[in-house]
Structure 1
């Protein structure tokens, strides 16, 4: 069974390499779009991404902050790695939030929700008066 599975994976990798090398980018985009629609037909889950910053001037996203506050109160007990941030007011306790690449599960109004904290590094940097940070955090 494992040898059959290994040969199937190897075959898919060969097809993927040929797909990237020999098919024009316009056709690749169309095929990827149809493949995505096909996967969506059988996948019952929805992915929602909340970026840490919104707008050009690196304004902190209100939705991201609200999610951090919700998770701090309700879901940080299930996390294995936490990040501690200092606060600006005079309170002594730091703010705990999920560390990068951490996942927790929570039940919100009888719906099971999987939260994950991630970051991405943009491939190209632009020259601007308001430089963008190298890493972009988001919660999904």
Structure 2
């Protein structure tokens, strides 16, 4: 599959009003489904027209830049933490500062290209197995 056609896994996007009603009624804390479908298509852009805007970054090179920031100048927003922490815990994707640095140091060895290419078939098999149970 070409990179242009690849769509990462994401929650179903609904119209804004439906998402808000669903959130209010279910109260499940699924903030990711509040994002419009366009948020998953744009490479980099602002989302939101309220007092708080969110910068969406889907461009792989820029995501790497944010995740590898050595000075911690890209702290994760509280909204991002609230949306992702119930799904992935206090992982590298939601942590900041010293916690992020410690987690990054622990996973650095496993992120070398040689190890990722060796592990990729197992990752795909795991995803396919999980998908089959849905």
TM-score, normalised to structure 1, is 0.21
Higher helix share: 2
- Give TM-score scaled by structure 2 length: 0.22
Larger Rg: 1
Structure ranking higher in strand proportion: 1
Higher relative contact order (Cα pairs below 8 Å, separated by 6+ residues): 1
